[in-house]
Structure 1
Amino acid sequence: MKRVLVGEIGRPHGVRGLLRLRAFTADPMAIANYGPLTDAEGTRRIALTALPDGLARIEGVADRDQAAKLTGIKLYAERDRLPPPEDPEEFFLCDLEGLPALTEDGATLGTIRAVEDHGAGAFLVIDGPAGEVLLPFTKKVVPVVDIAAGRVVVAPPAEVIVAPQAGEDAA
């Protein structure tokens, strides 16, 4: 089951166990509606109540020390708990995982394993016959995303795909 990052627990607020909450949902107060929420590993269940002003109360947390131990935990919801995007041009990045990445001439480059973003912009991680390929997730490099048809069209820059050189070992 796919999971989607919907928020992150921030620092404690006060002495009664309240925490700051960064919700990545359209309505920050609705984050608890997508529960049960889990941590990144999917092993810890986190029940929370979103409060005004970006605060949250988490079940079982009654003081500042308990709250401080949760700082930085990323919160995930099951993909099927989230509503579908209203705009047909919108999608969740996790919906790209598992789709074939086709070149503009229809050749299969590989399958999208992940969409990652480490701060400089998202990129597609594609597993193909030539191994792993990383492509920037921009309109120029990924001109077509068709979730309904189950495909992504890519136009890789020449410098991304490097042909094997004579005398080099492919392994």
Structure 2
Amino acid sequence: MSRSNKSILLGQIGAAHGIKGEVRIATHTAEPENIAGYGPLATNRAGLTVTITKVRRQKNVVIATLEGVSDRDTAERLNGVELYVDRDRLPDPDDEDDFYHADLIGLEARIDNGTVIGTVAAIHNHGAGDIIEVRDEQSGDSFLYPFTKAVVPEIKLADGYLTIVVPLDAPEGEEEPD
């Protein structure tokens, strides 16, 4: 699999915690404490890099000590900062059915007969499961599909495409148009 220089969002700094400069971080890593192991993290603030020196888990966030942050005022100014790592610094998934969402962005989306319907523009999750956004480059329209094995049965990263089986069933209680 070819790797890219895409940035992966690992977490977001939240409110300050205490008076000694600690911050809460909502992480997107499998094990929340592992966010500290990625070394210096890029951010969505120009020129700012963050290094986590100490971390402990607390409920659904981690409490972190950041290099160079030793007071509450400095910690409060970091609220909302997103933390990124280059995709190249992450290990390849162990299983061929595992992948990072960032690896899917830009893949060609085809229906099961091979017709190209667009390019993967984003993967969204609003709490009820992942949704894949496919953008038709010609019209500029975007289409959203449930990101399930039934709808996206085949992902060929090395070949640069995935297959979408467009759901045709009407929602329960509605009839198909004649």
TM-score of the pair, normalised by structure 1 = 0.80
> Are residue 46 (structure 1) and residue 50 (structure 2) matched?
yes
Alignment of 1:1-171 (within 5 A): 1-40=5-44, 44-53=48-57, 54-128=62-136, 129-130=138-139, 131-158=141-168
Q: Is the contact made by 1:48 and 1:58 (CA closer than 8 Å) also made in structure 2?
A: yes
Q: Is the contact made by 2:16 and 2:76 (CA closer than 8 Å) also made in structure 1?
A: yes
Q: Is the contact made by 2:16 and 2:75 (CA closer than 8 Å) also made in structure 1?
A: yes
C-alpha displacement of 1:121: 2.8
Cα 1:42/1:159, change in 2 over 3 Å: farther
Q: Is the contact made by 2:45 and 2:81 (CA closer than 8 Å) also made in structure 1?
A: no
> CA RMSD, aligned part only?
2.3
> Matched residues in 1 for 2:90 and 2:38: separation?
6
Cα 1:41/1:87, change in 2 over 3 Å: farther
C-alpha displacement of 1:150: 2.4
Cα 1:37/1:28, change in 2 over 3 Å: same
> Matched residues in 1 for 2:127 and 2:45: separation?
21
Of all paired residues, the percent bearing the same amino acid is 39
Cα 1:40/1:134, change in 2 over 3 Å: farther
Q: Which amino acid aligns with 2:92?
A: P
Q: Is 102-111 or 33-42 further displaced after alignment? A: 33-42
C-alpha displacement of 1:61: 1.4
> Matched residues in 1 for 2:30 and 2:13: separation?
17
The number of equivalent residue pairs is 160
> Matched residues in 2 for 1:19 and 1:57: separation?
7
C-alpha displacement of 1:159: 7.8
TM-score of the pair, normalised by structure 2 = 0.77
Q: Is the contact made by 2:13 and 2:24 (CA closer than 8 Å) also made in structure 1?
A: yes
Equivalent position of 2:174 in the other structure: none
C-alpha displacement of 1:37: 1.2
Q: Is 151-160 or 94-103 further displaced after alignment? A: 151-160
C-alpha displacement of 1:141: 1.5
3-state secondary structure, aligned to 2:152: coil
Q: Which amino acid aligns with 1:13?
A: H
Structure 1 ranges of 4+ moved more than 4 A: none
C-alpha displacement of 1:43: 5.0
3-state secondary structure, aligned to 2:78: coil
> Matched residues in 2 for 1:42 and 1:152: separation?
34
